[in-house]
Structure 1
Amino acid sequence: MAYQNLRVVEIIFTPPLKTRPLEGTNNKIKTLHKMAYGFRDISSSLNLKL
């Protein structure tokens, strides 16, 4: 019984999955979106470099 309670507490306090790679991708998309502001079509904005 005590082992089960300890396992529940361990599950509650373990940190969730790391989201750093996803945050980096979102940041790149936001930067690209800001750089492309004002372009009329996608083809001219695809020539931008990060």
Structure 2
Amino acid sequence: EAAWTAARKPPSKLRREKAFNDEKDAMRRELAVKTIRELRGQLAEHADTAAKL
């Protein structure tokens, strides 16, 4: 029974690594979204400037 439990849940090191990687992915995704928003904003500004010329 103990062997089955051990096989069922990964060792804490793997769990920690997975949590760390999930967190890193989330941060990377947030950064990408922020970057895209900023670039879109800059693009809109350039379009406005070009329209005024």
- Normalized against structure 1, the TM-score is what? 0.48
The structure richer in helix per residue is 2
Structure with the larger RCO, 1 or 2 (CA within 8 Å, 6+ apart): 1
Which is greater in Rg?
2
- Normalized against structure 2, the TM-score is what? 0.46
